[in-house]
Structure 1
Amino acid sequence: MKPTYQDALAYFGVSGAHPGGLTLTKFLLEQEKITKETTLLDGGCGTGQTSAYIKKNYPCSVTSIDYHPTMVKRAKNRFEKEKLSIQLVQGSLEKLPFPSNSFDIILVESVLIFTNCKNSLAEVKRVLKPGGVLLLLEMTAERALHAMEHQNMCEVYGIEKVYTENEWIHLMKEAGFPKVEVKLGHSVFSHMMTGMEPEDEAIDTSVPVNMQLEGKLMDHSYILYTYGNIIGYRVYRANL
């Protein structure tokens, strides 16, 4: 089986592959009311960077989940090293291993698009408490993509579709989220002009050279610089 873009992120321990990185995540969290009673799920936690930040800066209960075993291992090592009490689970957004009505806030950063979005949104809705909040940061097309543009992006990322803003909103409303707001959004190129630079993120240089996986990260860079005016991101906030 050919390695995926997700495999490359896991292998090199890339902490925040989404635009804005932890800087953007911090900004989003500041807009929410997070107390010691808040239960928060980091859906697709990766190396655990966001979960660790939340646990160290907010009094809430944090649960983290990721599907990729290498990411789970990296997150586990981070939480143990930093002595953080975070529940860590290996599992999929498409079939969350939690009871219904478990969380007040679910944060998903550039993960949903790698899953069956309809199934994942249905599961997210199920495990959110009444009145709960979904914070979703996802790749978003600035316009309907031409066939070749869409094919190139899907092949690099191993995804089925790149959604426009209206399509993302439709998916969430179809899943049962009556109120969906777009809190922030930019194309790749316009984001570069905002001054919201991501914090420096170390890549694990201790792993052996793997040209195939390095190629996956180079393919990602190619997509950003080739299509940076027609793809970007949106931050969606959906309420139950």
Structure 2
Amino acid sequence: MKPTYQDALAYFGVSGAHPGGLTLTKFLLEQEKITEETTLLDGGCGTGQTAAYIKKNYPCSVTGIDYHPTMVKRANKRFEKEHISIQLVQGSLEKMPFPSDSFDIILVESVLIFTNCKNSLAEIKRVLKPGGVLLLVEMTAERALYAMEHQNMCEVYGIEKVYTEKEWINLMKEAGFPKVEVTLGHSVFSHMMTGMEPEDEAIDTSVPVNMQLEGKLMDHSYILYTYGNIIGYRVYRASL
């Protein structure tokens, strides 16, 4: 089985693969009311960078979930090193091992597109409490893509579809979210002009050289610089 883009992120321990990195995450969290009573899920927590930041800076309860076993190992190692108490679960957003009405806020950063989006959104709605909020940062096409553009992106990322803003909003509304807002958005190139420098960590250089996985990261860079005017991201805030 060929390695995926997600395998490459896990192997090299890339902490902030989503646009804006931790800088954007901090901004989003500042807009929310987070108290000691808040229960927050980091959906697709990766190496645990975001979850660790939240736990250290907010009084809420934090849970992380990620499907990739290497990511879960890296997150556990981070939490142990930083002496942070975070519930961490290996599992899929498409079928989460949590009771219904478990969380006040669910944060998903560039993860949903790698899943069956309809199934994941249904699960997210299930585990959100009434009045809960989904904060979603996702790759978004700036316009309807031509067939070859779409094919190239899907092949690099191993996904089935690149959604436009309208399509993302429709997916969330169909899943039962009555209120969906776009709070921020840029193309790859326009984001570069914002000056929002990501606070990402360097990749793990202690792992053995793996040209195949390095190639996956290079393919990602190719997509960004080739299609940077027609692909970007949106921050969606969906509430129940």
In 1, Cα distance between equivalents of 2:150 and 2:201: 29
Please tell me whether the aligned partners of residues 15 and 200 of structure 2 are also in contact (alpha carbons under 8 angstroms). Answer: no
Q: 1:200: Cα distance to partner?
A: 3.9
Distance in 2 separating the partners of 1:230 and 1:126? 33
Which stretches in structure 1 are left out of the alignment for 5+ residues? none
1:219 CA displacement = 0.1
8 Å contact from structure 2 (residues 140, 164) kept in 1: yes
Closer, same or farther in 2 for the Cα pair 1:137/1:200, shift >3 Å? closer
Within 1, Cα distance between the matches of 2:201 and 2:232?
A: 20
Take 1:129 and 1:19, find their aligned partners in 2: how far apart are those partners?
28
Query: Residue deviations 1:101-137, cap 9 Å, x none?
Result: 0000000000000000000000000000000000000
Q: Does the 8 A contact of 2:103 with 2:128 survive in 1?
A: yes
**Conserved in 1, the CA contact under 8 Å of 2:106 and 2:134?**
yes
Q: TM-score, normalised by structure 2?
A: 1.00
- In structure 2, relative to structure 1, the CA distance for the partners of 1:14 and 1:170 (3 Å cut) is same
How big is the shift at 1:201?
1.6
With the length of structure 1 as denominator, give the TM-score of the two structures.
Answer: 1.00
Aligned-pair distance for 1:166?
0.1
- SS of residue paired to 2:134: strand
CA distance in 2, matches of 1:85, 1:212: 35
> Aligned partners of 1:137, 1:163: CA distance in 2, in Å?
13
Q: Deviations over 1:173-204 (max 9, x none)?
A: 00000000000000000000001010142110
Conservation of the 8 A alpha-carbon contact between 2:22 and 2:200: no
Q: Counterparts of 1:146 and 1:97 in 2: how far apart (Å)?
A: 38
Measured in 2, the distance between the counterparts of 1:196 and 1:8 equals 25
Unaligned runs of 5+ in 2: none
Q: What's the secondary structure of 2:169's corresponding residue?
A: helix
CA RMSD of aligned residues (A): 0.4
Structure 1 runs of 4+ aligned residues shifted over 2 Å read: none
Deviation per CA, 1:198-228: give whole Å up to 9, x if none: 0142110000000000000000000000000
